[in-house]
Amino acid sequence: MSLADDLAAQQRSISVAEFFERNKHLLGFDSPTRGIITTIKEAVDNALDACEEAGVLPDIYLSIRKQDRDIYRIIVEDNGPGIVPAQVPYVFGKLLYGSRFHQIRQSRGQQGIGISAAVLYAQLTSGLPTLIISRTGPDQPAHLFSVRIDIETNEPDVVREEKVEWDRTHGTRIQIEFRSTLAAKKRLIEYLKYSSIVNPHARIMLEMDDETVLFDRVSDEVIACPESIKPHPHGIEIGQLRRMLHAGSGTLEQFLTGTFSRVGKKTAEEMCRGAGLSCTAEAHTLSPEEQRRLVETMQAVKVPPPPVSRCLSPIGEDLITRGLEKEFSMDFIRARTRPGSVFSGHPFIIEAAIGYGGKLPPEGNAQILRFANRVPLMYQQGACAITTSVAGITWKNYGISQAGLPTGPLLILVHVASTSVPFTSESKDAIASIPEIEKEIVLALQDLGRDLKVFLSRRDRNRLQEDRARAVCAILPDLAAKVSEIVECELPDISTIEGRIMRKLVVRKRVNEGVVTLEARNYTDTAASLSLYTISRQPGEAASPPPDFTTEHEGEFTQVWQVSLGAGEVWQTCYGGSGRGMIEVRGVDPRTLVLVDQDDDMDT
Amino acid sequence: MSLADDLAAQQRSISVAEFFERNKHLLGFDSPTRGIITTIKEAVDNALDACEEAGVLPDIYLSIRKQDRDIYRIIVEDNGPGIVPAQVPYVFGKLLYGSRFHQIRQSRGQQGIGISAAVLYAQLTSGLPTLIISRTGPDQPAHLFSVRIDIETNEPDVVREEKVEWDRTHGTRIQIEFRSTLAAKKRLIEYLKYSSIVNPHARIMLEMDDETVLFDRVSDEVIACPESIKPHPHGIEIGQLRRMLHAGSGTLEQFLTGTFSRVGKKTAEEMCRGAGLSCTAEAHTLSPEEQRRLVETMQAVKVPPPPVSRCLSPIGEDLITRGLEKEFSMDFIRARTRPGSVFSGHPFIIEAAIGYGGKLPPEGNAQILRFANRVPLMYQQGACAITTSVAGITWKNYGISQAGLPTGPLLILVHVASTSVPFTSESKDAIASIPEIEKEIVLALQDLGRDLKVFLSRRDRNRLQEDRARAVCAILPDLAAKVSEIVECELPDISTIEGRIMRKLVVRKRVNEGVVTLEARNYTDTAASLSLYTISRQPGEAASPPPDFTTEHEGEFTQVWQVSLGAGEVWQTCYGGSGRGMIEVRGVDPRTLVLVDQDDDMDT
């Protein structure tokens, strides 16, 4: 027997389950520590997707309890539409099985691997099957399944199946046990926090042995489930076209308009003409050479881009901003949702946000929050196209220092929403380096960078002006004293001048020959609303404009004016009287206020 | 019909081929540019593996030719053992099929995906099947196959099969056409260069439209093919043990000693006792609870580590050093092969090398060469555990500056050899973050770092000493002049002192009352060999030691002494005579020589 025969005897087919059991790190099960996060992530992804499809507000319950030794029991329960009993074993007990792989629309799960990987990991490390309860409606019984994966065939092995009582009217509950640790608890909580930022309609509760955490919904609006679209002709390769042609029937024109998005009768005719083919030819009879010509023409003919807004569900600038403001205290925050774009026929949208200052750590690398299809990415930051795009920008153009990544009190959020997110591995930790995606990320961040630069230079200018103003104000009293000495006048009150220089709100009372003048000048650059009180033993007479209300209490008269002042505006009221008594200003930050009561000195 | 029924109707099984067609970037086909390198890499891996198994010196022919438009034709031909006709369609036309997945030993291909991924990519982008010719021996005909992959079933589709004439007596030739570019030609050549460094027994020739490159073998020694070993009991999970038990027959003792490496009768008995089981129990009758106890005891009982050296084939320190010296000009080069280690039951060995100085670029990040099982890793450096390990070391401890990665004229090579290299994706570009592997990489580099530090500080000390010596020598003449003026003596010859300070080789001739003394003093820190010539009109008399040879030519007498001097040593010879004439020193760098002929002044 030749060596080739020897070698042939060793050749074997490798089952997908066997492959991923060996390469479990590809699925996010590279360490016991990660196991819990990966499992929770996959189960929560499924729950959110299913609720979105069913149009219900997600209510997800998670539980992590330590069992014997290093075995943990994870329970994930949702109020989704449930899974029909016949499908349960396949959804959980077979890798590469799912409903979303063949649909062209944004969804969290795409690969048909996620949760069955956790089932695989459980039977490998604890030897235990996974328990699933699912119920599809109040008039249906709940079914309990105990499922394993047959490693050699990648087919489900149902250990037990029975009808059970369950208090939810619809939903799914899985219970899974594997070897793990809770060492990454902080990261798990972070993952849930970020998930809740981009899924404000979800209520997620996590119970652990020592702690219960609730991420309640902040919005009662159900997220619209993105629609599936047909493939776009520009993203089609000859191999795919061939399969589509073989599967189809009817004329070439019917095939083109029926199979692809954005291809109407006119475009189909143009494609046929360009390829030298008849519109009425039977689609499945094309020769390989004709197929080749057709695919080339399909790329060349102008076709509008795919209907991005229908199949994608971006988070939105407002929601991103509010979500970040809720979790981080920052001086500046701005978000952008880019227009839709396409790579290899897959529509995608980039969203980004930049936050600056406040309580962000002033030192070290910027904090980068990465999201793909509304799912936070928690691992492999260094391997992600988002990170390399961030590092590739010249941040000093925007007033930010940089050492590879930008540094300082900076937060960067990037969300990639696509019908097919190109992850670098099945564990969906990082986005592959796709030029079209990287370009859009860079554009979004540069756009935000310009806004940040405006903010920073205004802040710097303000600081500079304030420094100068302080310097001027410091010498002002001496200057005033000197001038009054020279011109032999009384020392003037310079506090209103200071107020003006320091850009404050100046409120002043002057009394001149029985007429009291109250004046408010807004030297700040924002509008201000204030309440101006005078409290005196004598009522003011015929004020113009009159006070908004007056009171008398034990011989003390209080007059109140409600004043709204735009930046730079002046307000005044006059009334007869001695002007004796107090004035008081409420409703403004005392640090921005200069109050000048010229009556004071005479009175006291 | 409920929503769950609607959703159930969309559930489908996803074929592996379909999954990877969509996610082709996972296989290293993320861009047309990469396609060629990935294909060549997979085919060369297979060829080298097969030649290793067959014990032949690999002779690999590669050809890349541009066809129509952007379609390239890649041919890879080897002199391996060939593939029996019945296996050819599966090896090339089915993903997850191979001979090396189930063997526990170091090999380049491990996953059974590699080359069939290229077949998949070809039929997707060019629509063309792949042509394979294979022959298993001189008495066998060569078979030609034209193969596709049926995407929906992941089964081979043989378009054509026939016997053909072929001039190789054994080997395999594949011809594959897909859409690509040669934009990454430089990287391709680099890949072949590095491959050739770690496979010095291979001859690889690449023909392209405009260029032919040959990487000839530099060693005629066939690399020994690593042996398969049995799994180690410490790396076994309960899920695997259960399958093994079910598959086996015989007693528990027979099962343990027969299935695992390093488990003899005594160890098996200890395991059975620890688990409270009888050695004579039938292995496949164990209850789940007994299995659980057994797997726990198997981890707990002391077992020697797996026989690393049999199943792994490290490159070796000498070969690494020579390979790098051949390709790079450096002042310092040192390599380490670490002892074998184990992660999750998989044996592995780390090898590393550090090069410094010479013609390495003086600025920027260190150059990092990454290898896994003798295959250069060309992409995703940032995502690789090798890179993060390098970046995690405090290089300033070893006199190297650092900005994330170490910087300066530094080259770092790391080779991970394992029975199962944990790649971060199927494209095998980067090694996953496995603590055991990272620890070994760090240990190897720290070890080399210490050597580098010794080298650098010696170099720096030498530089410092030289600087000081130069400073001293600069003032020495003035000092000598001043002293001779004060003590009213003749100005002494200070060149020997200079020689001593500057750590040179000082050769001096002195004449005193008819006796000539020739003296050589080696003030350097290395041994020196020199030839000392005297050329004179008078023969020297009775030299002691005598010259090694003397000649006379037209009345000129030449005497020659061959002198070997260790660092710091002194040599002398004396003879009678006037000492007139010339002396000459040959065989040493003139920059390290000080020649003092005290006769000179008198003579001229």
pLDDT tens per residue, range B53-85: 999 999 999 999 999 888 999 999 999 999 999
C-alpha A217/C-alpha B167 separation (Å) is 73
> For position A462, what pLDDT does the model report?
74
CATH number (domain holding residue A585) = 2.60.40.290
Which residue, among A131, A95, A129, A125, has the nearest Cα to A113 in the 3D structure? A95
Selected residue of B5, B13, B380 to mutate for chain A interface (largest A Cβ count, 10 A): B13
C-alpha A488/C-alpha A506 separation (Å) is 27
Tens digits of residue pLDDT in B578-590: 878 888 888 888 7
Residues B244, B277 share a domain = yes
Q: Please say which residue of B300, B328, B350 terminates a domain.
A: B300
Measure in Å the smallest separation between the Cα of B280 and chain A Cα atoms.
Answer: 24
Neighbours of A538 (CB within 10 A): 14
Secondary element (H or E) of residue B61: strand B59-66
> For position B2, what pLDDT does the model report?
74
- Hey, what are B453's tokens? 């530090």
Residues A295, A174 share a domain = no
> For position B603, what pLDDT does the model report?
38
Q: B292 and A13 in contact by Cβ < 8 A?
A: no
Residue A275 lies in a domain: yes
DSSP 8-state assignment for residue B282: B
Q: How far is CA B503 from CA A389, B424, B497, in A?
A: 54, 54, 10
User: Which of A14, A388, A433 lies nearest to residue B101, judging by beta carbons?
Assistant: A14
Which residue, among A112, A126, A152, has the nearest Cα to A19 in the 3D structure? A152
Residue B254 falls in which region: left (phi positive, over 0), alpha (psi -120 to 50) or beta: alpha
Please count the structural domains in chain A: 4
Considering chain B, what is the average pLDDT of its residues? 89
The chain B residue lying nearest A388, using CA atoms, is B382
The chain A residue lying nearest B134, using CA atoms, is A4
DSSP 8-state assignment for residue A374: T
Residues B74, B28 share a domain = yes
Look at residue B599 and tell me whether its pLDDT is greater than 60: no
DSSP 8-state assignment for residue A136: -
Residues A193, A140 share a domain = yes
> For position B1, what pLDDT does the model report?
57
> Mean pLDDT by 10-residue block, N- to C-terminus, for chain A (604 residues)?
78 90 88 90 94 94 92 96 94 91 86 90 94 95 96 95 95 95 92 91 93 90 89 91 88 93 94 93 91 92 89 91 88 94 91 95 94 94 92 94 91 96 91 93 96 90 75 75 79 73 81 87 86 83 86 85 88 86 84 72 38
Residue A309 lies in a domain: no
Q: Which residues contact A522 (CB under 8 A, 6 or more apart)?
A: A505, A528, A565, A566, A567, A568, A569, A570
> For position B78, what pLDDT does the model report?
96
> For position B132, what pLDDT does the model report?
97
Which chain B residues are closer than 8 Å to A19 by Cβ? 96, 101, 111-112
Tens digits of residue pLDDT in B231-254: 999 889 999 999 999 887 899 999
DSSP 8-state assignment for residue B493: P
Which chain A residues are closer than 8 Å to B3 by Cβ? 53-54, 81, 136
Measure in Å the smallest separation between the Cα of A194 and chain B Cα atoms.
Answer: 24
Rounded to 10 deg, the angle between the A265-274 and A288-300 helix axes is 120
CATH number (domain holding residue A391) = 3.30.230.10
* The one-letter amino acid at B508: R
> For position A1, what pLDDT does the model report?
56
Helices (H), B487-514: 495-501
The complex scores an ipTM of 0.77
CA A209 and chain centroid, separation: 30
Inter-residue contact B3 to A50 (CB < 8 Å): no
Q: A97 and B11 in contact by Cβ < 8 A?
A: yes
Residues B166, B263 share a domain = no
Neighbours of A262 (CB within 10 A): 15
- Hey, what are A156's tokens? 């489900």
C-alpha B295/C-alpha B279 separation (Å) is 15
C-alpha B72/C-alpha B49 separation (Å) is 25
Look at residue B485 and tell me whether its pLDDT is greater than 60: yes
Q: B14 and A101 in contact by Cβ < 8 A?
A: yes
Residues A510, A408 share a domain = no
C-alpha B447/C-alpha B336 separation (Å) is 8
Which chain A residues are closer than 8 Å to B7 by Cβ? 50, 53, 81, 83, 99
- Bigger pLDDT: A334 or B218? A334
CA trace torsion B46, B49, B50, B52 (10° rounding): 160
Q: Which residues contact B564 (CB under 8 A, 6 or more apart)?
A: B527, B528, B529
What is the CA angle B363-B365-B369, rounded to 5?
125
pTM: 0.77
Residue B291 lies in a domain: yes
CATH number (domain holding residue A151) = 3.30.565.10
Handedness of CA B245, B249, B253, B254 (dihedral sign): negative
Beta partners for residue B413, in sequence order: B353, B369
> For position B327, what pLDDT does the model report?
85
Look at residue B604 and tell me whether its pLDDT is greater than 50: no
Q: A83 and B8 in contact by Cβ < 8 A?
A: yes
CB of A250 less than 8 A from some CB of B: no
Residue A1 lies in a domain: no
User: Which of A13, A82, A243 lies nearest to residue B94, judging by beta carbons?
Assistant: A13
- The mean pLDDT of B312-325, rounded to a whole number, is 90
CB of A181 less than 8 A from some CB of B: no
Which DSSP string do the residues of A380-433 spell out, in sequence order?
-GGG-HHHHHHHHS-GGGGT--EESEEBSSEEEEEEEEESS--BSSTT--SB--
Q: What percent of chain B has pLDDT over 90?
A: 57
> For position B175, what pLDDT does the model report?
97
Selected residue of A13, A157, A427 to mutate for chain B interface (largest B Cβ count, 10 A): A13
Residue B246 lies in a domain: yes
C-alpha A601/C-alpha B259 separation (Å) is 102
User: Which of B82, B91, B237 lies nearest to residue A124, judging by beta carbons?
Assistant: B237
Residues A238, A278 share a domain = yes
Inter-residue contact B549 to B557 (CB < 8 Å): no
Look at residue B532 and tell me whether its pLDDT is greater than 70: yes
Residue B482 lies in a domain: no
User: Which of A54, A90, A383 lies nearest to residue B380, judging by beta carbons?
Assistant: A383
Inter-residue contact B518 to B499 (CB < 8 Å): no
Tens digits of residue pLDDT in B128-142: 999 999 999 999 999
> For position B598, what pLDDT does the model report?
64
Residue A194 lies in a domain: yes
- Hey, what are B473's tokens? 């020598």
Residues A182, A55 share a domain = yes
Residues A424, A392 share a domain = yes
Q: B19 and A383 in contact by Cβ < 8 A?
A: no
- Hey, what are A565's tokens? 């002042």
Residues B148, B242 share a domain = no
Interface contacts A/B by beta carbons within 8 Å: 219
- The mean pLDDT of B393-418, rounded to a whole number, is 94
CB of B136 less than 8 A from some CB of A: yes
User: Which of A18, A84, A137 lies nearest to residue B8, judging by beta carbons?
Assistant: A84
User: Which of B98, B423, B426 lies nearest to residue A14, judging by beta carbons?
Assistant: B98
* The one-letter amino acid at B505: L
CB of A422 less than 8 A from some CB of B: yes
* Strand pairing class (B142-150; B130-135): antiparallel
> For position A602, what pLDDT does the model report?
41
> For position A347, what pLDDT does the model report?
93
Q: A90 and B240 in contact by Cβ < 8 A?
A: no
Inter-residue contact B332 to B452 (CB < 8 Å): yes
Q: A127 and B238 in contact by Cβ < 8 A?
A: yes
Residues B61, B103 share a domain = yes
Q: B424 and A424 in contact by Cβ < 8 A?
A: yes
CATH number (domain holding residue A244) = 1.10.8.50
> For position B487, what pLDDT does the model report?
79
C-alpha B5/C-alpha B19 separation (Å) is 25
User: Which of B11, B50, B295 lies nearest to residue A98, judging by beta carbons?
Assistant: B11
| CB-side neighbour CA atoms (13 Å) of A253 | 10
CB of A475 less than 8 A from some CB of B: no
Q: Which residues contact A197 (CB under 8 A, 6 or more apart)?
A: A323, A324, A326, A327
Residues A375, A296 share a domain = no
Q: Domain of residue B278: give its range.
A: 233-300
CB of B169 less than 8 A from some CB of A: no
Selected residue of A153, A176, A289, A425 to mutate for chain B interface (largest B Cβ count, 10 A): A425
The chain A residue lying nearest B242, using CA atoms, is A127
> For position B600, what pLDDT does the model report?
43
Selected residue of A153, A424, A426 to mutate for chain B interface (largest B Cβ count, 10 A): A424
Measure in Å the smallest separation between the Cα of A117 and chain B Cα atoms.
Answer: 14
Residue A474 lies in a domain: no
Which DSSP string do the residues of A200-213 spell out, in sequence order?
TT-EEEEEETTEEE
C-alpha A234/C-alpha A253 separation (Å) is 17
User: Which of A124, A136, A403 lies nearest to residue B2, judging by beta carbons?
Assistant: A136
